[in-house]
Chains A and B, each alone.
Chain A
Amino acid sequence: MKILPTAADLTDGDRLVDAPWARLFAIAALVALTVLAAWEGYWRRHGVGPSLSDIDASWSVARDWVEPESIVLVGTSKIQSALDPELLGERLDEEAAIQLALINGSPLPILEHLARDEEFRGTVVVDVSPRIFFDRELRHERRSRAILEAYRAYRTSPGDRIDARLVMTVESSLVLRRAEFSLRRVLETWTKPRPLQIPFARVRFDRFRELDFSRLDLAVRRSTQTAILAAGEPATAQDVAALADRTRRAAAAIERRGGRVLLALLPVTGSAREAEERLFPRGDYWQELVEKSGLEAVHFADYPELGAFECPDGVHLEADQARRFTEAFATHLE
């Protein structure tokens, strides 16, 4: 019998580097911690707080929080920054609401996903942002389908589920984990004349997006938001009917189990409101959806207490306004 070479064992010595590693690691850790603490302190002194990076994993964690009778918020960045889940729960004497909104994602696939969950019999608030909901090209539906696909993969992986919670805990404790101050952004300041900026959005652990526009050039932001509204092709009357039918069927499944679905059109102001009313006339879109789906609906313009808000960038509410808006909106859910 041939004898194979013996294992390249660590005891051979050539695979190891002998050094006072404990001391080297301690000094290196001290250096690294000093630099990182200085970086953390610098941004905290500028009033910046920690924030979730709000990627697919944190959406999946929030989805796991959904109980059979939860209040769930689905929609876009508008509802994510307009309704404070914790405050909404408090006002309704319930557990905190669950924020399942998705930037640039259509709420319809998420509503259908909740409808397929046989245990769910809670309340769903659907943010109907016309640009996203009535998008003929279905780009926003694809975004939502992608997150549902990611959620399915996340559900099969215990490691991913634990990791997502750890990442969220760290991100909501340390400013230095914010994507806006990452090494990539620092490198970009070397290659592009774009200094690091204090971010205007902060995502809390419950995925509520606190906005502060005070440091932004609002004229630029408003024109960008108006341009976004004008981009893409609005749905046709036939598309609207199909969307309304899907909404009705999904809502019916939830209502059959004792749940409730409420459509909401959240505040939009200034030039963005003009663009939205021009591109998505209320009668052709919102009204059609409400009538054909037969669901409860709240349009901000129909209620003075909801219509009294000014969106600094035309479409989103700032954090302090959002708290007042949440209190006003809660009365429609009682």
Chain B
Amino acid sequence: MLFNSLVFFVFLALCLALYALPIPWRLKKLELLVFSYLFYAAWNPPFVALLALSTVVDWTVAKRMAGAVGAARRALLLVSLSVNLGLLGYFKYGGFLLENFQLLLAGLGVDYRPPEWSIVLPVGISFYTFQTLSYTIDVYRGDMRPWSSFLDFALFVSFFPQLVAGPIVRAAHFLPQCLTPRRVTAVQLGWGGALLTLGLFEKVILADMLMAPVADRVFGLAEFAGFTSAWLGTLAFSAQIFFDFAGYSTCAIGIATMLGFAIPRNFRFPYAAVGFSDFWRRWHVSLSSWLRDYLYIPLGGNRKGRRRTLINLAITMLLGGLWHGAAWRFLVWGGLHGLYLVGERAVRRRWGDVWWNGGRARPIAAALGTYALVCLAWVFFRAADFGSAAQLSLAMLGAREGHWVLLRGTAGIVVAVTVGLLTVHWLMRERTLEELARLAPRWVTVLALAAMWICLALAPGDDRAFIYFQF
């Protein structure tokens, strides 16, 4: 069920109405659990079984870990890792592995023809498997005790506002909120509703209506695009993916707020990042912090010397890339970000922090440079294949001739949205949306809400799914 669908609004209204009834907190949590499973089943009912499997396995494993020590404890962790990564591997990477195995054998002269792999990728599987894994790993490390209520844990895994596209919530953040009854207040409903409106506006108007058609056109005509077209198409995609994913996260936070829950921010105005470590502290924060805590640091982080740090960074970013999709181009995207991080470390070692603390102009120049390199990496993320990505990259670097492929009038919109986006991110880089909203005069809030509702009511019904649903 998409947040930008009519059926979701009927679902949410029903959920909020029942949630407001004067019933015990335990029943309210049960209601949220039922609605969360209905939300997931609305996409494809049989896949609810996977969600339930992941929940039951991790719940049981964590419970048993409490009394286990040594090898038994490690074996239990292995069960959790095998089930969750096994599900992810089978549904998400099975086809990719089979295809590459076939290519490898073909390279060795063996003609192997596997049966066609037509497995549907369960929506949100990358998110909820990481979420439940973090719980068992926390319990294994002793950072957290096994939670006593199965209902709370099942709700943590399936909580519908963030179930299918994050933010990836940690058990230690969510479960304590289940202890005390969440009361729905007018302020929570109001601010949550405002966030939901803003998120939908970002997704439906800015991402789908304005930016997606330009990106689709340029990436669809990659072999013809010249320097300017390639850049404009990539700028359009960089805005599209931000508004799409940040829009989803804003909706998720807004809906959770309406229900009285707090879930972490996922974006902190990332296109104002100065450098790539800063970028990853601002972009998809819940994933980057997950990778840091459960992959980079266990690999040794930066504690085992310079060379090992670089290797750890590269592994983390490559796997982070692969998390986004089963294709080599996602690996290249992750690899590029790994290289950027390694390069940034070299710059800092050679010149210190001058680009970060050197007056006003240098940080702005560094932010623009960061943004340009992030855009170059987006090409591999969005392109249909390596050929298109290579052609667009070469065009963007001025190494390939090409033509103007944009439709009339669209270039101005891309430039206006990009300039607006970068300006807002820069001005907001040390602030939060809440601070801005508190400063805004009431009439501005009213007009902003009305304008967004009017735009949404008049938006064409394209019904594009959120980009991150496919991950």
What is A's interface to B at a CB cutoff of 8 Å?
1-2, 4-10, 12, 14-22, 24-25, 27-29, 31-32, 35-36, 39, 53, 55, 57, 156-159, 162-163, 166-167, 170-171, 176-177, 179, 181-184, 186-188, 190-192
Contact = CB atoms under 8 A, between A and B. Distances in A.
Given A162-B7, A167-B461, A24 B410 contact: no
18 contacts: A5-B172, A16-B257, A19-B442, A22-B186, A22-B190, A24-B449, A25-B449, A27-B446, A28-B449, A28-B450, A32-B449, A36-B458, A55-B463, A158-B41, A163-B1, A176-B457, A188-B409, A191-B409
Interface in B4-50: 5-8, 10, 41-45
A8 B262 contact: yes
Given A7-B174, A190-B409, 20 more contacts: A1-B145, A2-B143, A4-B143, A10-B182, A10-B262, A15-B257, A15-B434, A21-B186, A21-B189, A21-B191, A24-B446, A29-B450, A35-B450, A159-B42, A159-B43, A162-B10, A176-B457, A187-B413, A191-B410, A192-B408
Given A28-B453, A183-B459, A19 B187 contact: yes
A176 B458 contact: yes
Nearest to A163: B7
A32 B448 CA distance: 10
Nearest to A55: B461
Contacts of B193: 21, 25
A31 B412 CA distance: 29
The 3 residue pairs across chains A and B that have the minimum distance between CB atoms:
A21-B190, A191-B409, A159-B42
A328 to B, nearest CB: 36
B262 A39 contact: no
Nearest to A21: B190
B176 interface: yes
A68 to B, nearest CB: 25
A11 B463 CA distance: 35
B454 interface: yes
B166 to A, nearest CB: 16
Nearest to B412: A191
Interface of B: 1, 5-8, 10, 41-45, 138, 142-145, 170, 172-174, 176-177, 182, 186-191, 193-194, 205, 209-210, 257, 260-262, 264, 408-410, 412-413, 432, 434, 437-438, 442, 445-447, 449-450, 453-455, 457-461, 463
B460 A19 contact: no
Nearest to B5: A163
A4 B138 CA distance: 10
A7 B173 contact: yes
B454 A16 contact: no
A177 B461 contact: yes
Most chain-A CB neighbours within 10 Å: which of B143, B173, B264, B461?
A: B461
B249 to A, nearest CB: 14
Contacts of B257: 10, 15-16
Given A8-B173, A22-B186, A183-B205, A156 B44 contact: yes
B409 A166 contact: no
B434 A29 contact: no
Nearest to B145: A1
A29 B193 CA distance: 13
B6 A167 contact: yes
Contact of B446 (A2, A31, A191): A31
Contacts, number: 161
Nearest to A182: B460
Nearest to A174: B457
A68 B434 CA distance: 57
A163 B442 contact: no
A57 B445 CA distance: 36
Contacts of A162: 7, 10, 42
Contacts of A55: 461, 463
Contacts of A27: 446, 450
Given A2-B142, A10-B260, A24-B446, A39 B458 contact: yes
Given A4-B143, A21-B187, A32 B194 contact: no
A298 B44 CA distance: 43
Contacts of A10: 182, 188, 257, 260-262
Contact of A4 (B7, B172, B408, B437): B172
Nearest to A2: B143
B209 A170 contact: no
A36 B446 contact: no
A190 B408 CA distance: 11
A166 B174 CA distance: 34
B331 to A, nearest CB: 28
Nearest to B461: A53
A182 B459 contact: yes
A22 B446 CA distance: 11
Contacts of A28: 445-447, 449-450, 453
Nearest to B169: A7
B5 A159 contact: yes
Contacts of A16: 187-188, 191, 257, 434
Nearest to A159: B42
Most chain-B CB neighbours within 10 Å: which of A22, A156, A183, A191?
A: A183
A36 B7 contact: no
A6 B449 contact: no
A15 B190 contact: no
Contacts of A14: 432, 434
B186 A4 contact: no
A18 B8 CA distance: 26
A191 B174 CA distance: 47
Contacts of A191: 408-410, 412-413
A110 B289 CA distance: 50
A171 B438 CA distance: 37
